[in-house]
Every structure is written in C-alpha cells, then in structure tokens.
A = this chain, B = another copy of it.
Amino acid sequence: MHAFPKSSVTVDLIVFTITDNSLKVLLIKRGIEPFKNMWALPGGFVLEDESLEDAAKRELVEETGVKDIYLEQLYTFGEPGRDPRGRVITVAYFALINSQIQKIRASTDVSEAQWYSVNKIPKLAFDHKKILDYGLQRLRWKLEYTTVGFQLLPKTFTLSQLQNIYEIILHKQLDKRNFRKKLLSLDIVEESGEFTEGVSHRPAMLYKFKKRIGEIIEIL
C-alpha cells in the first residue's frame, strides 16, 4: 500500500440566532494568519481522537459558551486551494441558539466575535461566504418542513413570537389565523398556563414545545 495523501480537517460553524427582529450569524475576527483581521465563521481543527460532531461542539462552547443546542452537519467543502496553508477539508455544521443565551467570548486566535445580520455580512475569509449561503438555504428549507424553528426560542414563547421567526427567516408575511390553525392542528405545542407579563397591551399565552430539546420532526 502506497502512502496516501493526508489532509488537515477542520469544522466550521454557522451559528444562527434571532435578535432585534433580524436573523444573525456569529462571525469572528481572525487573530492569526491567514486572513488575519478578516471576518470568518468560527471553527477549528479536528483533534486526534475526537469525532467531527464533538469537534463542532467543542468549538461552539469555546466561541459562545453554550452547549446542548441544536447542531447538524451541513456539508463538506474540500476544494484543493480553498486554504492557503495547504489541503484543508472542512466539515460545516449549523447550529441554532435561542435569543436568551448569547454571551460571546473571544477565544485564542480570535480578536473579536460579533453577531452579524445575514443581510449585512462583511467580506469573509476562505470560502466562508459560500458555506454561509449554503447554511442559509438549509435553514430556510428546514424551517418550512420541520420544527427547527423552535430551537430559536426559549422554553416558553408566544405564538406571535414563533410566527415572527418564520416571517423573519422566510422574509414574508404570514396570516395570523392560518398560522395558528396549522400549528395547533399539528399537536406539537401546549399551553404553559403562564402569560406574558409587563407588556402594555393584552398579555399572550405562553406555550411550550411538546418535544424534547434538540428533537425536530418533519412537516410544518
């Protein structure tokens, strides 16, 4: 058996959240070469005895401090020449975190980390623009056909908040009555019994997702 070429393998993360009525993605400013001082998706090398998913989870904790959130493998990018350091293959993951936990901490090799609205993305390092576009496409797709949307909300939420997430990500208006009718017919949410407080208008019922965290099901 000949010696086969070896490559470095990285994971890159597309971390989405929603704040200020806008879909945001987490970017880091690179602290080292190549592409030093340029914005990029968070990520890093896969270690010796670590599965790809574990590497993604580790990077996620390092960048955001959060764990136990929704994470799914997206696609693997491996064009020769995509990284000036040599042959580097990257496995992209996408993650959704809810709007409550968003503390960001800059880690080693990172001079800054920031949430960027998806329609105001700066020029990105490597082929990260392509990766991000792919992730956005997947997010829109899954939002329509699965229950991933719930991953962007805290444990209890109002139906208006949920509808809002759909409207932001799909950027189109939805009919309130039809949205609620459809959702309730799926039998995947239940009333929590609590209401929103401290709002200067009629309080809304808080609902909760019937499935466990991280679980998503098809068709919505």
Contacts and interface: CB of A to CB of B under 8 A. Distances in A.
Interface in A1-39: 1, 4-9, 32
Contact of A32 (B1, B50, B52, B91): B1
Q: How large is the interface on A (under 10, 10 to 19, 20 to 34, 35 or more residues)?
A: 20 to 34
A34 B5 CA distance: 18
B73 A52 contact: no
A169 interface: no
Q: How many copies does the complex hold?
A: 2
Interface in A90-139: 91
A46 B9 CA distance: 13
Given A1-B32, A73-B75, A76-B76, A48 B9 contact: no
Nearest to A218: B141
Contacts of A49: 80
A154 to B, nearest CB: 31
B32 A89 contact: no
Interface string A53-80: 0000000000000000000010110111
A166 interface: no
B5 A48 contact: yes
A12 to B, nearest CB: 13
Interface string A182-210: 00000000000000000000000000000
A220 interface: no
B48 A80 contact: yes
A179 interface: no
A114 to B, nearest CB: 24
A173 interface: no
A79 B49 CA distance: 8
A47 to B, nearest CB: 6
